[in-house]
Amino acid sequence: MRFIKNTLDKVKIIAGNNKYLKTFKPVLNAMDEFFFGTDKVTTLPHIVDNMDIKRLMSLVIIALLPVTIASIYFWGLRVLLVIMVSYAFGGLIEVCFAVFRKKEIHEGFLVTGLIFPLILPPGVPLWVVAVGVMFGVMFGKEVFGGTGRNIFNPAIVGRVFLTIAFPKIMTMNWQMPFNKGLGGFIHFQNTVDAVTTATPLVLFKNQGIVTSYSNLMFGQSAGCIGETFRVGIIAGGLFLIVMRIVDWRLPLAYLATVFVFPYLSNHLIHTQFALGGFQLFSGGLLLGAFFMATDPVTSPFTKPGRWISGALLGILTLLIRNLSGYMEGVMFSILLINAFTPLIDTAVLKARYKKGRPR
């Protein structure tokens, strides 16, 4: 601790005296704050909550840890490399903007940097990761003015950009996961049986094959890096809800819609939707519902708004999954609903604060 402090102080002095290094002050300050906390004191109220954004973000990361570790087991140590690339290049953009704006660096990026790799296919080339994360952070967040002002979830912006720009890479790189022994912990990548296979959603759509629930739950199916170990996702999501960091309304509305809607529409309009249970546990739905749709910045803040947007997300996801050429509806629908978030909130507020009513 002393050592870190001394080093930081020294570097700070050097940087303070150097015209060029001065621009990197935000980086040093961020590190300083990261390690040593704050020395500011309150005014009124005299005490404030111990929670801060750093801990909040760390908790999201903790909630993602089971999934991340499991994904290393399923897809090999290369996953670590993908995560590192994501952090490095996303961080680069973040730092550039902080330096450019002379503002401090915000912690929100720590979550984006981890979620982004989790929604990519396991075989994704590293340069694609770098391009995607840079695009996502830049156009998903920074152009709006940084954390707290963004309309779209940066990870999803990056992912959707990749899907549209490199459709081949993003839809062809499916592998079967390791399932024996130490699996991916001792392999770099699944080369032995690197047969490209299809995700459960594709299997169902093209051949009507329904993957078994146990395979879906415990990661024995093809899919994006972090979306297949669904037990871990559910555990992480519930953890955040219990910690009161994530509001339960939106995920509940989203998942309930996805579960109920197929029954209704199969009855009413006789299209062939896969049944609710299968819908719930396939694709990136759970990861999206718990970790991305609930991103507080980009989801409605009003309670009715959360119900509405959850329900809309559900319907949209199913429609895209079943009626469009894309297999994966979650990312597109979240992106779309993100765009409607301000509208939903405004409508809810309008209804709630009708003029001339005593409160």
Partner 1 sequence: MLKPARTFRGGYRFKNFNGQARPVIVENHMPVLVTIPLKQGFGAELKSLVKKGDAVFAGQIIARDDNVVSSPIHSSVNGVVEEVRRMNYFKRQTAMVIIRTNNASREILRIEGCSLDWARLSNEKIEELIYLSGVSSLDREGIPTRFKSSIIPPEEVKHLIVHGVGSEPYNISLDLLLKDKNLLNFLEGVKILKRIMPNSKVHLSLNAKKRSIIEQVAKLTSQLEWLDTYPLEPKYPQGYDEILVPTILNQNFPYGYSAANIGVVILNIQAVLGVYEAVCNGKPFIERVIAICGPSIKDNIHVKVRVGTPLKDILAERIKIEMPVRVVMNSLLTGFQLNDISLPVDRTFSHIVAIPEKKEREFLSFMRPGKTRDSYTRAFLAGILPWIKRAPDTNKHGEERPCISCGFCERACPVKIIPHLLAKHVQRNLIDETIMNYGIFNCIECGLCSYVCPSKISLMKIIKEGQDKLTMQGCDSTQCILPYFNLKGIEEYRGVTKL
Residues in contact with partner 1 by the rule CB under 8 A:
1, 33-56, 58-59, 104, 106-108, 146-149, 242-245, 247, 296-297, 299, 301-302, 349, 353, 355, 358-359
d(CA 334, CA 174): 23
Nearest to 286, CA basis, from 238, 326, 247: 238
Contacts of residue 320, Cβ cutoff 8 Å, sequence gap at least 6: 326, 328, 329, 332, 333
Nearest CB to partner 1, comparing residues 153 and 190: 153
In the complex, least distance from residue 59 CB atom to partner 1, rounded to whole angstroms: 6
Closer CB to partner 1, 10 or 103, in the complex? 103
Least CB distance to partner 1 at residue 35 (A) = 6
Asked if 313 and 261 count as a contact pair (C-beta separation under 8 A), the reply is no
Token representation of residue 32: 């300083």
State the residue for tokens 């009161």. 244
Q: Tell me the C-alpha distance between 265 and 320, whole Å.
A: 14
Instruction: List the end-to-end C-alpha distance of the chain, in Å, as a whole number.
Output: 53
Nearest CB to partner 1, comparing residues 112 and 322:
112
Q: How far is the CB of 86 from partner 1 (least distance, A)?
A: 21
Distance of closest approach, residue 276 Cβ to partner 1, in angstroms: 29
Amino acid letter, 142: E
- Of residues 35 and 188, the one with the C-beta less far from partner 1: 35
Q: Are 254 and 206 in contact (CB under 8 A)?
A: no
* Residue 184 beta carbon to partner 1: minimum distance, rounded to whole angstroms: 28
Rounded Cα–Cα distance for residues 228 and 222 (Å): 7
Say how far apart CA 135 and CA 120 lie, in whole Å.
14
**Considering the complex, what minimum distance in angstroms separates the CB of residue 143 from partner 1?**
15
Residue 69 Cβ vs partner 1, minimum distance, rounded to whole Å: 19
How far is residue 262's CA from residue 270's CA, in Å, rounded to a whole number? 10
Q: CA-based diameter of the chain, in Å?
A: 73
Contact assessment for residue 313 and residue 319, using Cβ atoms and an 8 Å cutoff: no
CB of 12 to partner 1, least distance (A): 14
**CB closer to partner 1, 53 vs 165:** 53
- Closest to partner 1 by CB, 104 vs 197, is 104
Cβ closest to partner 1, residue 114 vs residue 297: 297
Closest to partner 1 by CB, 38 or 214:
38
Q: What is the DSSP track for 213-236?
A: HHHHHTT-S---TTTS-HHHHHHH
* Sign of the torsion angle spanned by Cα atoms 260, 262, 267, 268: positive
The two tokens of residue 71 are: 């994904």
